[in-house]
Structure 1
């Protein structure tokens, strides 16, 4: 959160800069790139494939594929400007130390990151730069505002409601305009003995299956900018957008921008996104407002990222000062059935199959499955669901994932505990729900529309006629929703009566 530097003898004569990409996989509006270019005689753009963050057990095939394609797109963009991407593999600090010594790096630059793993890693990188006598620059770039600036402006306690957060943002002012994209870059210096390994394949990283999710989103900076341009070139569409009114059953195409994966990897700048939306809104004249507008969605992202940056244990219940302490069950069989899309509730299962297949689902589908897993039906911990989403979603963002799971489980931010998504009635609101279910649950293809969202209402004869015998071709409901809802609501009321542990997060 900010920038620091240590004087380096090389800085006075123009240092060789190492720009360490992690997120921020773009050349437009990239503060770290601009910091690396200041007076540099050579630029080494580097990405390190970190085994801690990769591998099938940690990350699903769709997100891995999106990363690899984004790296290829970044490499292409660098080559167009006279540079290239150097891809290293291994423990990041060990790799950085090795190449910084070989390349005689005088300046290390990387985008600031507020996630727990990144903080520990980046503290080590700062110490490495100090030990090697290299200048260090760590500008922000992942969000509209520096989380530290917002925390300081909050005066000690960050607001936990959206309305209060908007007042804080208004106090700080509009986000800065995006930085320009450099037309040319300094050449990469002599790599010496440091090997340059190319961008690996999915198979090399342990994935055997195809990345189906990439059929629905184009990775890389140019894909992000093209998608943004397509949306903002129709100001009326931006002006009319209200996220809760979009259709979770729409899948080809989706009802939302699907730019979230680009925001996660930083192949689209938050400031570029925001100012393009504001320009479209002004062109339209009248337009939707936060919290439901597209610009409002970016401010939700700011809020959850900023709170996550200053809240200890933000991705867990125990020791998290904003999270209610709730006596969740731990039933692996229920979690597995939910994860695999075998709960016996077609709307829930279709959404989870979409997640497993494509690495994405609409935000209202996410709401449905999260409520079902936690306070609605299965009473499993939000931490377990968060872990599944973190592995499978292309757009998995640590702060947003934790915040939304706390929200949907009514552990933080949301307190209307009697508002529970029905796994049947909610889906019936959407005309496309049956098409959606048939697409992701082909075993239900022959089930008539009247029974498709609740197939257990078919007689045995009707099941045989439809080619879908429950318990054989498709599971019976894993729980009975109505009594489960009442039982869980009673448990949630008891948890609320015990009170919330801890206080609001303080800035630091």
Structure 2
């Protein structure tokens, strides 16, 4: 739809507060804040709560800074610019609105707990000062609050139940066109900007990683993708041009040993189920791919970081993908495993997260099974620091820390290993590590996936465990992925690369990797540990069933 169709446009001097929607295309908050405005100042506030390495890793912070630079370039091309203010939003924004005589402020709605507290504080201060505030929905396909109203109670916790709500909503709105020209900003020179910011913020401008207290990352280090709307849309359009690949895409069939890389026009489907693959029972035959070349085959869209920061609109993704499906005349994969299915999984988690109290915790979370997880710091540190002694797990955790990204099945494997597969460590601990290190860390998706993978919610087949040895072998027989991220094992014979502790000592010495000296011995016996985990979760499930039965009897007695 056109910008002119947005309702209740702001007037006078307006401020558009960017947070996640780091784009000019299909941005409802930006459209509302600029239409009919006499002057408009786009701002982003670098909140010290986020800007610390212990909370947001260097890879994600660099991606954010790149995205801010790209957004500034997009705005400048339209006659405006992005003013990046440093400080707490609840302090900086009221000061700015007072000094700059702002009439209204617009931003994108956010469901995260910290954001809700922050936004309420900002809104309260601004409205008390007579500034109009509006939060627009733009991070999801649908307005989450409208979807919750359709639920008429608690949101569904199954994908099938979710689609009943989607059917009630209809197709997502068409994207809003990016404007060609914006109203002038509040300052037109460096001197005017300096005077504008004085007394408002601690500092201003887009900093470097080092400015924020991070260790520097070289251009050839860390996450390989470049942040920003420009790159996100380029990647989206290149992906959508691969129509045959889109038609065949089934996410569970993609290769977890694939590293993040630039796009290619190649791409074939793989076996249907990761558990069938691990068991060697593929419906489509042997899908193993080995060698360095296999590592360069793209197996997913790699759009998740751009969706997380709102560099790419989900509605643009949806409608352009729908157009491709139309060209394929129905000859394409279907949800939940298709590309459209992945967009809908994102919506599913956002809906459940928005409608579930304490969604990011086990305690007080009505949909989360109460499981007596261990809190063993030593075991957790071994997992977090890639010192478990299981090469597949350690290679994946090395990639996570080094690059800020993991294939979704690698995420499944390391999450299963930490929780219900081997170590029985609390999923909240793993969630926190992912939230810090992943470039695409998303509050709703990260918590939802950790509950799923720990069999705490959504998925309850706790007896289906990812093997830390056999699973990756089916994709990467020779262990090229392991050798890349764990060079200490680069000379280990393929027969032992996933189980180096089984190699005779002379073989270990020849490979330059003696287990227990150059590389750690396994911290658990997988077979024994997995059996204990299954038994412990079975006990917790039985207790949950008994508690529900008792609660049901009490309800009947009170009727």
TM tier, shorter chain? over 0.9
In the alignment, structure 1 residue 302 sits paired with structure 2 residue 347: yes
Paired residues of 2:223 and 2:402 also in contact (CA < 8 A): no
Aligned to 1:402: 447
- Does residue 237 in structure 1 map to residue 245 in structure 2? yes
Equivalent of residue 473 in structure 1, options 510, 518, 521: 518
Question: Structure 1: any 5+ residue segments left out of the alignment?
Answer: 1-7, 504-508
Determine the C-alpha separation between the residues in 1 that align with 2:16 and 2:22. 11
Query: SS in structure 2 opposite 1:41?
Result: strand
Q: Secondary structure at the match of 1:68?
A: helix
Equivalenced residue count is 493
Query: Quick check: 1:427–1:433 contact (8 Å CA) kept in 2?
Result: no
The CA deviation at 1:214 is 5.7
Secondary structure of the structure 2 residue equivalent to 1:109: strand
Determine if contact 1:249/1:436 at 8 Å carries over to the other structure.
Answer: yes
Residues 287-298 of structure 1 aligned to structure 2 (within 5 Å): 287-298=332-343
- Quote the Cα distance in structure 2 between the aligned partners of 1:318 and 1:435: 41
SS at match of 2:17: strand
| Conserved 8 A contact 2:478-2:494 | no
Residue 117 of structure 1 and its aligned partner are, at CA, apart by 0.4
User: d(CA) in 2 for partners of 1:464 and 1:262?
Assistant: 45
Q: What secondary structure does 1:423 align onto?
A: coil
Q: Does structure 2 conserve the Cα–Cα contact (< 8 Å) formed by 1:249 and 1:433?
A: no
Aligned equivalents of 1:157, 1:130: Cα separation in 2 = 31
The answer as to 2:197 corresponding to 1:194 is yes
Q: Is the 8 A contact 1:61 1:207 kept in 2?
A: yes
Quick one: structure 1 residues 399 and 434, their matched pair in 2 at CA, closer, same or farther if it must change by over 3 Å?
A: same
CA contact (8 A) 1:17 1:36 kept: yes
Contact 2:222 2:402 in 1 (8 A): no
1:263-305 C-alpha deviation (Å, 9 max, x unpaired) = 1100010101111111111112210000001111010000101
In the alignment, what sits opposite 1:143?
A: 140
Correspondent of 2:323 among 279, 287, 304: 279
Q: Secondary structure at the match of 2:111?
A: coil
Contact 1:447 1:455 in 2 (8 A): yes
Pairing 1:310-325 to 2, within 5 Å after superposition: 310-325=355-370
**Alignment partner of 2:304 out of 260, 270, 274:** 260
**Counterpart in the other structure of 2:84:** 87
What's the CA shift for 1:433?
6.3
Q: Does 1:100 align with 2:64?
A: no
Assess if the C-alpha contact under 8 Å between 2:252 and 2:337 holds in 1: yes
Q: Which has the higher contact order (CA 8 A, sep 6+)?
A: 1
Distance 1:170 1:337 in 2: 46
- Structure 1 residue 129, shift from structure 2 partner: 2.1
TM-fit CA distance, 1:216: 2.5
Which residue in the other structure is 1:5 paired with? none
| Contact 2:28 2:176 survives alignment (8 Å) | yes
Matched, 1:393 2:438: yes
| In structure 2, distance between residues paired with 1:139 and 1:118 | 14
Q: Of the candidates 396, 400, 413, which is equivalent to residue 368 of structure 1? A: 413
SS of aligned partner of 2:99: helix
CA distance in 1, matches of 2:210, 2:226: 20
Q: Normalising to structure 1: TM-score of the pair? A: 0.94
User: Following TM superposition, by how much is the alpha carbon of 1:213 offset from its aligned partner in structure 2, in angstroms?
Assistant: 6.4
Which segment is superposed worse, 191-200 or 390-399?
191-200
Is residue 35 from structure 1 mapped to residue 79 from structure 2 by the alignment? no
Partner of 1:73: 70
Per-residue deviation at 1:226?
0.1
- After alignment, is 90-99 or 388-397 more displaced? 90-99
Counterpart selection for 1:249 from 242, 257, 265: 257
Task: Provide the C-alpha distance between the structure 2 equivalents of 1:432 and 1:242, rounded to a whole number of angstroms.
Answer: 22
Moved more, 422-431 or 488-497: 422-431
- Structure 2 distance, partners of 1:445, 1:316, is 40
How far apart, CA to CA, are the structure 1 residues paired with 2:227 and 2:31?
23
- Please point out which of 52, 55, 74 is paired with 2:52: 55
- Secondary structure of the residue aligned to 2:211 is coil
Counterpart CA distance in 2 for 1:133 and 1:214 is 45
List structure 1 runs of 4+ shifted beyond 6 angstroms: 500-503
- What is the aligned-residue RMSD (CA, Å)? 1.7
**Residue aligning to 1:424:** 469
Alignment partner, residue 216 of structure 1: 224
Deviations 1:164-192 (A, max 9, x none): 11121012111111000000101112454
User: What is the SS of the residue equivalent to 1:486?
Assistant: helix
Gaps of 5+ in 2: 1-7, 188-192, 262-295, 552-559
Alignment of 1:125 with 2:128, yes or no, is: no
Maintained 8 Å contact 1:62/1:213: no
Alignment match, 2:233: 225
